[in-house]
Amino acid sequence: MKIRVDRELCEGNSVCVALAPALFDLDDDNMAVPMVENPAAEAMAEAERAANGCPREAIALDG
């Protein structure tokens, strides 16, 4: 699985950081960035929570 954030859609509201603090952070431009590009299988549920919780649908999980 690979985590991607669409920077055109992200509005920097930190919902993903709150839901999955091990996987996301905000950069200097207040955009979410994945901290782990290819998370382990155990992190899948957390990544899905963040993707489903993003109000802008800016998070894609590939693979």
Residue numbers at the binding site for ligand SF4 (CB under 6 A): 5, 10-16, 32, 54, 56, 58-59
Q: Using an 8 Å Cβ cutoff, are 16 and 22 in contact? A: no
CB of 40 to ligand SF4, least distance (A): 20
CB of 12 to ligand SF4, least distance (A): 5
C-beta of 8 vs 42, nearer to ligand SF4: 8
Element (H, E) at 25: strand 24-26
Q: Using an 8 Å Cβ cutoff, are 9 and 58 in contact? A: yes
